[in-house]
Amino acid sequence: MKLITFVQGALLLSLSLQSVANETMMITDHAGNKVEILTQPKRIASLHVMSTTSILLDVDAPIVGTSTYIKLPENRPYIRGGEEVFGIKFADTGYFNYGNKGSDIEQIKASKPDLIIGTVKYQKKLFDKLSKIAPTVLIQRYTPNIFDAYRDVAIWVGKKDLFEQNYGQYQQKITRFKDKYADELSGKTFIYAVPSKGQAEIKIRQNSGIITQVLFDLGLTRPQFLKDTFAPEDAGAEVSSELIESLDADWFFSTYTSQLGVGSESIDAGFDDVAPGWQFALTAYQNNQFIRLNREQAYTPTFVSADYVLNALEQQILKNRK
């Protein structure tokens, strides 16, 4: 009798666990698609390395495959951002390789995902095709607050609690940082721009991932030139390098692409190329408030990258205070 009761109990428990695992929810993705997805997906296909894979790594979501970049000069697939931020080498992961921007749909299908996460930018045209493989959701890479997109992804992969915990800690860090360095930050402006080498242009990145998110959260604002030229929600654009003097702000941020094997000196070389004499045009440079960041470490929409940006800013502030 006891044995029968035990077996019945075990059966009931396994059925209920299975039903929890198979529970679904209806969500609306950033492209407006209404999609029914599992509340706890177990095999997630990620179709954009720096926008989606990095978030999934940050919340330790079960990834089954990812798009990849090619790391030069070794010519091997790599998780851009993931390798620099989390130290994860693609070859060690066992993930399926979906190629550049998730274009190898055969590999996506072969990986048998139960959720596909792509971006509106690159996968909108493939949405119907991908939906036949598994429930597919698309995120908007550039949202006014990048953590809104992050929160949505966390919900879709069943990691909302972890996200809220991390986000709470992030907000506390921001508050402490603002209080501690009020003299350097309060009422100050910033600009994030990179030189377009060989084109006499400077690319203004007004809303660009975690870098600008952190800086806006710290209370830094846009300089007048950006307010006059771009709407607040614009991502930015290329401007002529002749406008270098107009790009002046209290803090100037720029990034280099370590994927190409270059270092921070490439930023100065780039500005020398497009705007000779730029050092004299920028107050931020003269005041030692010109910060060079590794793009792969700074760009991912993760709390780890947010810490990297805060640390870089803090180091420069402390250096200036000495």
Partner 1 sequence: MNIFDDQNMIISPSEGISLPLYKRTLWVLCALVILLSLSFVYSLKLGSVSVSWADVYAVMGFDVELNDATSTIYELRLPRIMGAIAAGALMALSGYLLQTAARNALADPGVLGLSDGAALSVIVLYVVFSQVSLTASILASFFGVFVTALLVLWFVHKNLSGTFIVLVGIAVGAVVSAFSDILLSSVTIEDMAFLMAFLSGSFLSLDLTSASFLSIWMTVIIAVFLLLSRYINPLNFGYQHAMSLGVDAKKYYIFIIILAVFAMAPVIALVGSIGFIGLIATFLAKNIIGYRGTELGIVSMLLGAIMTLWADTLGRTLFAPVMINAGVFIALIGALFFIIMTRYIVKQ
Interacting residue ranges for partner 1, rule: CB under 8 A: 68, 70, 97-100, 103-107, 109-110, 120-122, 124-126, 128-129, 132, 140-142, 235
Contact call for residues 268 and 175 (beta carbons, < 8 A) = no
Give the residue from 84, 80, 85, 86 showing the smallest Cα distance to 66.
80
Per-residue exposure over 172-206, b if at least 16 CB sit within 10 Å of its own CB, e if not: ebbeebeeebeebbeebbbbbbbbbeeeebbbbbb
**Least distance to partner 1, CB of residue 77, Å:** 8
Which CB sits closer to partner 1, 47 or 249? 47
Which CB sits closer to partner 1, 30 or 188? 30
**Least distance to partner 1, CB of residue 68, Å:** 8
**Least distance to partner 1, CB of residue 201, Å:** 13
Give residue for tokens 């790594």.
Answer: 57
DSSP-assigned letter for residue 91: G
From residue 68, give the alpha-carbon distance in Å to each of 8, 9, 99, 165, 271.
47, 46, 5, 29, 29
**Which residues are paired to 239 by β-bridges?**
202
Which CB sits closer to partner 1, 257 or 283? 257
From residue 110, give the alpha-carbon distance in Å to each of 1, 43, 70, 83, 140.
47, 12, 21, 24, 26
Strand ranges, E, within the chain: 24-28, 34-38, 44-46, 63-66, 69-71, 76-78, 96-97, 115-119, 136-139, 190-196, 201-205, 236-240, 251-256, 290-294
Strands 190-196 and 201-205: antiparallel
* 39 three-state secondary structure: coil
Which CB sits closer to partner 1, 100 or 311? 100
Which CB sits closer to partner 1, 126 or 215? 126
Which CB sits closer to partner 1, 43 or 121? 121
Which CB sits closer to partner 1, 140 or 264? 140
